[in-house]
Amino acid sequence: MSDSDKAGNTAVAVGIEHAHKEQAPPAATVAIDKAAERRLRNKIDLMIVPTVALLYLFCFIDRANIGNARLAGLEADLGLVGNDYNALLSVFYISYIVCEIPCNILCKWMGPGWFLPTTSLGFGIASIGTAFVHTKSQAMGVRFILGVFEAGMLPGIAYYMSRWYTRAELTFRLSLYIVMAPLAGAFGGLLASAILTLPNFGSLHRWQMIFAIEGIITIGLALISFLTLTDRPQTARWLNAEEKQLALARINVERVSTHEVLDKLNKTKLRRGLFNPVVLGTALIFAFDNVTVQGLAFFLPTIVRTIYPTATTVTQQLYTVPPYVVGAFFTLLLPGICWRTDSRQYMVIAAAPMVMAGYIMFLASHASAVRYGATFLIASSAFALGPITNAQVSANVVSDTARSTAIGMNVMFGNIGGLISTWSFQSWDGPNYPIGNGLNLATSSSILVCGTLLLLWMKRDNRRRAAESSREELIGMSEQEIEDLDWKHPDFRWNI
């Protein structure tokens, strides 16, 4: 055994007798060996990230492929007129928003290793079902069911990964799966273009083939994930005993007033996650951001059609790909900077001006090249706020229970923004869409303002907490009552 291996084993040997309770030893008693931690982190990256990234890729594709189907004749075949397409998009978000927080609580109760594959299987089946609808009512019913199953994916994966990664690491790891949102736009456009070159898929034609083939792929990935995902470090067959203890210890070292990494469901802690001021402020920012993110997902093919109206349908699909590729690059770059600096709020603020510039270009010019260039600026920042905001709310609660509802709250607010986006680009507002572009300029400007105000408040409240030194309030409280304080504990500081 090498000296580094011995050091790593020594570092995690303390407290193994508590492993069956999934408790890590107190932070003061653990000297974490950095080489052992790096090897563990690399192993977790390899075993966790690819599966959740692929699941989220097809989660987003199954949601957004309706935009590609629209170009392939969906509206005409279903008899959609006026605002029917917008209504079809909206019904998805009604179930999505309502089920957001309950799904994340269910994810904790059921275990992510079972919940994530099960819900993926559900939305894969719903996607296939969309291929067989013939009326607007049928399509709306299937989209509603799709929203129920997809509601738990984004917050569920974020919550799941918070069990494995430290505060600094989490932002970049979240980006490794949320980057699948812009890649879904790029890959979805390519895949839709390839599918549309087929004469038929069984009895299905044109847009029907898009939903059926992509749904089948989703079901296959869901079945595989039942075998590859594991709930938590203690149930991971690919970790040895020392690695399991190190995995618990390095997470626990960041948590104030608790030695239990995975606590039991607790109403007080559930409320701590929901009514945390930083969570609420960040969730509002994510709502503003998602007006743009989901608007791009649903309407970029339509926007491209107005820019290049004489191009063929396949060419228009291909024009949607490059902006998403650029968006994917920045979705990794900006959270990567957050990882190295262990800071997220400054990047939230910095992301807004590029989106603002893109919508100013849309409003100021009718030139095709300028408007197409604007989509690159918008995609470069908008998608990155997904991992950054989810990591920020995760960093500003203490317990696993509070984290489940905090992330659920953030994503729920985000999808209220998604619901708004379904009505942001009206058919009668085309081809230049001044109302939709003006709305997105307003929301991106609001991100800049809200992000700055939240940063100033966090700094001010941290100074207040440091000055008060009010640990006297803990006198007479039981250990459980102290743990239930969560972010209200006097030693807690907001993580900027």
Greater pLDDT, 6 or 81: 81
Q: How far apart are CA 100 and CA 404, in angstroms?
A: 11
- Secondary structure (DSSP) of 105-162: HHHHHH-HHHHHHHHHHHHHHHHHHHTT--SHHHHHHHHHHHHHHHTTHHHHHHHHHH
Structure confidence at residue 324 (pLDDT):
83
Tokens of 332: 């990794």
Structure confidence at residue 220 (pLDDT):
94
Is 8 inside a domain boundary?
no
Which band of pLDDT confidence, cut at 50, 70 and 90, is reported for residue 19? very low
The residue among 155, 152, 126, 150 whose CA lies nearest residue 139 is: 126
Mean pLDDT score, 363-380? 87
Structure confidence at residue 356 (pLDDT):
94
Q: Is the pLDDT of residue 17 over 50?
A: no
Q: How far apart are CA 443 and CA 441, in angstroms?
A: 6
Residues near 461 by Cβ (< 8 Å), separated by ≥ 6?
494
Per mean pLDDT, which range of 69-73, 373-377, 470-474 is the poorest?
A: 470-474
Mean pLDDT score, 289-302? 79
Q: Is the pLDDT of residue 21 over 60?
A: no
Task: Tell me the pLDDT of the chain averaged across its residues.
Answer: 84
**Distance in angstroms between the alpha carbons of the first and the last residue of the chain:** 40
How many C-beta neighbours within 10 Å does residue 132 have?
13
Is 357 inside a domain boundary?
yes
Mean pLDDT score, 306-314? 79
Convert the pLDDT of each residue in 317-349 to its tens digit: 778 888 888 888 998 999 999 999 999 999 999
Q: Are 30 and 249 in contact (CB under 8 A)?
A: yes
Per mean pLDDT, which range of 5-14, 279-288, 422-431 is the poorest?
A: 5-14
Question: How many structural domains compose the chain?
Answer: 1
Q: How far apart are CA 6 and CA 33, in angstroms?
A: 10
Structure confidence at residue 89 (pLDDT):
84
Write the CA distances from 187 to 60, 74, 440, 447, integer angstroms.
11, 20, 25, 28
Mean pLDDT score, 479-485? 78
Say which DSSP state 257 is in: T
Structure confidence at residue 471 (pLDDT):
66
Write the CA distances from 256 to 51, 268, 337, 398, 409, integer angstroms.
31, 16, 25, 7, 22
Structure confidence at residue 257 (pLDDT):
58
Q: Are 412 and 426 in contact (CB under 8 A)?
A: no
Give percent of the chain above pLDDT 90.
33
Helices (H), 206-344: 207-228, 241-252, 267-274, 277-307, 313-319, 321-341
Q: Is the pLDDT of residue 301 over 80?
A: no
Is 223 inside a domain boundary?
yes
pTM for the whole thing? 0.78
Residues near 454 by Cβ (< 8 Å), separated by ≥ 6?
278, 281, 282, 285, 345
Rg (CA), the chain: 23
Helix-, strand-, coil-residue percentages of the chain, each rounded to 5: 80, 0, 20
Is 116 inside a domain boundary?
yes
Is 314 inside a domain boundary?
yes
CATH number for the domain spanning 275: value is: 1.20.1250.20
Q: How far apart are CA 288 and CA 443, in angstroms?
A: 5
- Secondary structure (DSSP) of 101-113: HHHHHHHHHH-HH
- What range defines the domain where residue 212 resides? 34-254+264-488
Convert the pLDDT of each residue in 134-163 to its tens digit: 999 999 999 999 999 999 898 899 889 888
Greater pLDDT, 319 or 283: 283
Greater pLDDT, 428 or 359: 359
Greater pLDDT, 251 or 18: 251
Q: Is the pLDDT of residue 11 over 60?
A: no
Which band of pLDDT confidence, cut at 50, 70 and 90, is reported for residue 18? very low
Structure confidence at residue 310 (pLDDT):
81
Convert the pLDDT of each residue in 97-132 to its tens digit: 889 889 988 998 889 999 999 999 999 999 999 999
Q: How far apart are CA 369 and CA 32, in angstroms?
A: 53
How many C-beta neighbours within 10 Å does residue 283 have?
26
Is 449 inside a domain boundary?
yes
Is 13 inside a domain boundary?
no
Mean pLDDT score, 379-389? 90
Is 17 inside a domain boundary?
no
Tokens of 133: 């609808």
State whether residue 322 is helix, strand or coil: helix
Cα dihedral across residues 7, 12, 16, 19: positive or negative: negative
Structure confidence at residue 1 (pLDDT):
45
